[in-house]
Structure formats: structure tokens, C-alpha cells
Amino acid sequence: MRIRYLPETLINQIAAGEVVERPAAAVKELIENAIDAGASAIDIDVIEGGKKRIVISDNGHGMSREEIAAALDRHATSKLPHDTLETIEHLGFRGEALASIAAVSKTSIQTHHKESGESWEIYCEAGKKSTPKPCAHPNGTRIEVRDLFFSTPARLKFQKTERSEFIAVKDCVTRLAMAYPQIAFKLTNNGESKLSLPAVLDQQSRLSSILGRDFGENAMELKSKRDEAKLWGFAALPTYHRGSSQYQYLFVNGRAVRDKLLHGCVRSAYADVLHRDRHPVLVLFLDLPSTDVDVNVHPAKAEVRFRDPQSIRSMIISSLKNAIHEGGFQTASTVRHSTLRAFKPENDHHVPTPALPFARGNTAAVPRTYAQPSFLSERVTNSYESQSAAIAPTARVEEALPETQSYPLGAARAQLHENYIVAQTESGMVIVDQHAAHERLIYERFKNQMQKNGVVKQGLLTPEIIDLDETQVDVLMQHAPALSKMGLELEPFGKDAVAIQTVPSLLGDRIDFKRLIYNLVDEIRDFEHTNLMENHLNEVLSTMACHGSVRSGRRMNAEEMNALLRQMEKTPLSGQCNHGRPTYVELSLKDIEKLFGRR
């Protein structure tokens, strides 16, 4: 055995293993180069999801004869003029993407160098490049990559299906397109257009065309600034959520990054308004001085390190929380749309016809819509008359109308099935789920009290000892002061155990201490912080709220109903119950007219 230096092609093939893991990674590098070249329009044309061919054309500044030859060499870049990694101002900086791609494919480049007016082309197969030749390319740069991985059979075998490779390509194009609205993007697969995004001025219209109008309508805008860091973007209302967290995008200095920090922050910010298994859609842009973030972490530049992750985390959480609180009284417009769909006649044929109850002579089951109006009104009056004196007559509700109608949730007009308040607003109607709404109100009140008076602790007669390993003890003890504020006092017990001294009295002995401690350790490790204690306490409060709130089935008079509506308007987060279900739906007059075919 003899140590020897590897040939350049092999070195490039090895680098390619990291940089271009799959066709989508090559697409990402090539688009980033086009963006760095100042392009305002980028066309991405792939065949078989990029496995057979990738062509990226841009209208950027192009390359000179020397540059086109150097571009294919490893560690050749035009993007680090000051020879330092401290100030990275372009998406590229490693100078190895083109070399890596060209090492494992058949790559040809045609470019028009704006500065000199000359056009050049070059060809490279499995790392062996030709000399540049003049050509007639009119504008920008066109890079064609054929048969990716043909020279590395091992990697070729690991290629996925065309479909999944194309999904990855599209995902990468979309991410970059979100960050650069002023650049037009076109994507085709096998000659079929898959995405066509014209250049636009603002991020919001680009995001709407990518994530759909629903997102545009149901997103809260957020903006915050801390020292030199700027955070802005759009986050979904808590009532607009998905089953997966894949629709959470973070861009750091225009770079799409996957960072578990984001998911931790999102979970923490939405903990109170969304079930753990549901995930809001959101797009956040973080702009930092380049000295505060290290992008040189990962060959594919998909990860970053922050100089001060704690402050970035708290900035993200607090601005999300602020937005949620400001939007807290709203419910998503999709809630309204699904309500409308439920009403729509075209859905009727899915519903079993009500013939059967008729046939059995069960008149009580006669659907409202089939009843004579006179019959209906008679029944309504009767039921009002039979109610206790505490129930206000309809007339009183009407009187209350003029002044309260102008409130966002309007004036209560009736209670249906002893759980739904129907209110008239200036431009439509609102149906409130009184139980869900009341639950939220009580929960918020409990939380408020807890914040004011602090968490009441309860000492354990004999401290509970939990065995851990040394690093786990360390991890936990670093967070001891924060946990103590939440009522959980911990002390190290020997080297590899902790002793629980106090617990929040709200939790009492209803929890499994061992599991709590293990979960705390896991959460701190995953997210470098924890809000598990707070969540536990909030869960208890939420259960208490559920027991303490107006059960469905309670009659309320007009005053009570209106008081509930006014209370909801004042209470943060009252648009959804503690699990992200809406507490009310709103239909505008327009919506109602649509239902009756008047529009």
C-alpha cells in the first residue's frame, strides 16, 4: 500500500458526491449561479426530472473566454474578491459546483460576455474539458447538463423515479423563486410547462402565486427588527394549517435553508393555538449582516450557523407570537369557504334523502326546508313562549341591534340547538360555537392569572430522583433557572441523576415525572430550549377551561349572548379554540346571496 495523490477527476467525482446529490441539487447550483450573474429571467428545462437532461438559460452578464475555462475548474470562483469567508455576498462562494457537475456528466456551456460582446462555448465530459471556441450565443448563459452521474455508476443506481426527482426539482425552483420575486422563472419537464412565474415587484404576489390565493388571504404579515437583524414574512392564521411541516420556509440572506431551529420556534409560537400534529404554513425571511451567520457549513449550502442562535430564536418566536395575537380574533377564510361548500346544493346528492323519516310518520324529523313558513314561525314562537322568563323575547334582541351590529361579531339574534349563536353583522352573519368560544375565553383568563401571580409551586415530601446520564444532567441543569420559574425545581443528585424538589401545584401528582424529565431533555437537545413545562401547564389550564366553560346545551339570553360576543372581540386568540378549531364562522351577504343563486 502506498499513499498517492488522487487524480483531479476522481477528486471532483468525490466532491460531486456531496455537492450534487441528485438532479435537483444540480438545478439549485445552476440557478444560484444565474442569480449571482444578475439575471432577471431564468428558464429551467429538464427531461425525465433532470436525470436525462437539465438546461438552464439566463440573461445575466455572462463570462469571458478566460472565465468560461476557469469556471469548470474546482475552487475557481469570481465571488470572493477579498479572499475572506467573513463577508459572503453571493449565493455561491465555494467554486466547486460547476466542476462537480461537469465531473459526473456531459456539460456544455454557451455564454455571451456582456462586457466584451464576445460569445464562447465549451464542452466537458466526465471532467475532461475542451478548449473554448467562439460561438453565436446571443445573450446570457446557457448551461446544458446531460446524463448526470453517467461516469459514477454507483450513484446512478441510487437515482429515484422521474416523478420524485421532478418533485425535488420543482421544490428547489419554488424555494428560490420565493426569495427572488423580481426574477421571472419558467420550468418545463419533458417539454411540458410546469411553472411560469412572471417577475413581480413584491414578495406577497410571488408567494400567492406559489402557495395559492388561500395562503395570501389567510396569512398574517410580520415584520421585526433587532439590532441589525431584520425578520419579515408571512405566517398562516392558526385556523389555516396542514398535516406536515414541509410548508415552512426560512430564507437567510436570500438563501433557502432547512433549519430545525425554525420548526422549534414555530411549534413554540403556535403551541397555544394549534394542536401538536398540525402545522402552519409560513414563509420567513431573515436578513443578517453576513458576519453574523456562517453559510460555510454544508457543501450544498443548505444549512447555516448563527453567531447568536438564542437571539434569532427569540426574535422569530416573539414576532410570530405578536402576529398570532394580532390576528387572534380572526378565523381563516378557508373556514368560510368550507362552510359555504357544506351549504351548496351541489353537495346535496351525497346526503341521503330524508324520505325515510317521512314514511315512518316521524313529523318531528321534517327538515326545516320542507316545512311551510307558517308552520315554522308557529313552532319558533311556541318554543320562545315555553322558555323561562330569563330568556329575552325576540323583540329585545332586535332593539339591541342598531348599536351592536357595527361590532365585528355583530348583534346576537338567536341561539340554535342551544349551542350556536347567530349574530347579524353590518355586512353579513356570524355563527358562533358558544362552547368553543367560551372555553377559549376562560383559558385566556386562567393564563392571565398565572402570568400575574406566577406559578404556584408545591414541594414534594420526598424528592423524586430521576436517573439520567451525565450529559443529560448537564443539559437539564443549564435550563434549571427557566424551569424553576415554571414551578419545577431541580437539583443535581450525584453525577447522573436529578432530584425534583418542587412541581407546579396545578400539575399536582397527575403526571409521570420520569417521562416529563426525559421529554424535557429530548426537547432541549432537539431545539436547544424548551417550553414543555409551559405547555404542560397550559394543557391543564385548557382542561380546566373546558370543564368550566358554558356547556353546549345552555340557553342564553340576548344580553348574555351579546356579552359573550363582546368578550370574544376583546380577547386575544379568541378566533380559535385551543386546538386550532374555529370558534366562529362568518358569511358575508355576498356569500349568502351566492347560496341562493342571486349572484
Q: Which is nearer to Mg ion, 143 or 317 (CB)?
A: 143
Which of Mg ion, ligand ADP, none does 141 bind, CB closer than 5 to 8 A by kind?
ligand ADP
Residue nearest to Mg ion as judged by C-beta position: 92
Interatomic CA distance for residues 394 and 98, integer angstroms? 76
Nearer to ligand ADP, 77 or 538 (CB): 77
Nearer to ligand ADP, 58 or 444 (CB): 58
CA gap 21, 23 in Å, rounded: 7
C-beta of 30: minimal distance to ligand ADP in Å?
7
Residues in region 136-155 near ligand ADP by CB under 6 A: 141
Distance CA 64, CA 111 (A): 8
Return d(Cα 271, Cα 250) in angstroms, integer: 19
Residue 218 DSSP class: T
Closer residue to ligand ADP (CB): 20 or 168:
20
- The one of Mg ion, ligand ADP, none whose footprint includes residue 58, by CB under 5 to 8 A per kind, is ligand ADP
Q: Binding residues for ligand ADP, how many (CB under 6 A)?
A: 23
- Burial class for 127, CB neighbours closer than 10 Å (0-12, 13-18, 19+): buried
Angle at 564 between CA 450 and CA 437, to 5 degrees: 65
**Is residue 37 involved in binding ligand ADP (CB under 6 A)?**
yes
Would you say 24 or 524 has its CB closer to Mg ion? 24
Helix (H, G, I), strand (E, B) or coil at 395: helix
| Closest residue by Cα to residue 112 from 100, 102, 120 | 120
Q: How far apart are CA 149 and CA 103, in angstroms?
A: 9
Q: Is 595 left (phi over 0), alpha (psi -120 to 50) or beta?
A: alpha
Q: Indicate which single residue of 13, 33, 119, 538 sits in contact with Mg ion (rule: CB under 5 A).
A: 33
- The reply to whether 299 sits near Mg ion by the rule CB under 5 A is no
Question: Which listed option, Mg ion, ligand ADP, none, makes contact with residue 62 (CB within 5 to 8 Å by class)?
Answer: ligand ADP
Identified binder of ligand ADP from the candidate list 34, 282, 476, 500, rule CB under 6 A: 34
Query: Which residue, 137 or 413, has its beta carbon nearer to ligand ADP?
Result: 137
Nearer CB in complex with ligand ADP: 34/237:
34
Among 11, 52, 79, 554, binds ligand ADP (CB under 6 A): 79
| Residue (8 or 217) nearer to ligand ADP, CB | 8
Q: In angstroms, rounded to a whole number, what is the distance separating the alpha carbons of residues 379 and 382?
A: 5
Give the contact letters, 96-115, x = binds to Mg ion (CB under 5 A), - = no. -x------------------
Minimum distance of ligand ADP from residue 35's CB (angstroms): 9
x/- mask, ligand ADP, residues 229-258, rule CB under 6 A, reads: ------------------------------
Between 60 and 575, name the residue whose CB sits nearer to ligand ADP.
Answer: 60
DSSP H or E stretch at residue 450: helix 434-453
- CB contact set of 394 (below 8 Å; sequence gap of 6+): 384, 414
Q: What is the largest CA-CA distance in the chain?
A: 102
Q: CB 488 → Mg ion: shortest distance, Å?
A: 49
Q: Applying CB under 6 A, does 259 fall inside the site for ligand ADP? A: no
Return all residues near 597 (Cβ < 8 A) that are at least 6 apart: none
Binding mask 3-32 for ligand ADP (x = CB under 6 A): --------------------------x---
Q: Are 114 and 130 in contact (CB under 8 A)?
A: no
Candidates 26-34, 425-433, 475-483, 509-517; binding stretch for Mg ion (CB under 5 A):
26-34
Piece in contact with ligand ADP (CB under 6 A), picked from 60-68, 249-257, 402-410, 551-559:
60-68
Does residue number 487 form part of the binding site for Mg ion (CB under 5 A)?
no
Asked if 178 interacts with Mg ion (CB under 5 A), we say: no
Rule CB under 6 A: say whether 78 interacts with ligand ADP: yes
Report the run of H or E that residue 190 belongs to, with start and end.
none
Cell numbers describing residue 586 = 362568518
The piece of 56-64, 173-181, 352-360, 455-463 that touches ligand ADP (CB under 6 A) is 56-64
Residue type, 317: I
Strand pairing partners for 431?
422, 585
From candidates 95, 254, 408, 572, binder to ligand ADP by CB under 6 A: 95
Q: DSSP H helical segments within 58-109, as ranges?
A: 65-71, 97-103
57 forms beta bridges with 43, 142
In sequence order, the β-bridge partners of residue 256 are 251
93 binds ligand ADP (CB under 6 A): yes
* Residue 68 touching Mg ion (CB under 5 A): no
Residue found under cell 349551542:
419
Using CB atoms within 10 A of its CB, is residue 63 exposed (0-12), middle (13-18) or buried (19+)? buried
Task: Using CB positions, name the residue nearest to ligand ADP.
Answer: 92
Our CB check for ligand ADP shows the closer of 142 and 438 to be 142
Shortest separation between residue 111's beta carbon and ligand ADP, angstroms: 6
Q: Vertex 140, ends 136 and 142: CA angle to 5°?
A: 75
Burial class (CB in 10 A: 0-12, 13-18, 19+), 160: middle
The correct pick among 50, 92, 280, 575 for binding Mg ion (CB under 5 A) is 92
CB 543 within 8 A of CB 507: no
Cβ-contact 455, 534 below 8 angstroms: no
Our CB check for ligand ADP shows the closer of 43 and 162 to be 43
Residues that bind Mg ion (CB under 5 A): 33, 92, 97
Residues that bind ligand ADP (CB under 6 A): 29, 33-34, 37, 58, 60, 62-63, 67, 71, 76-79, 92-99, 141
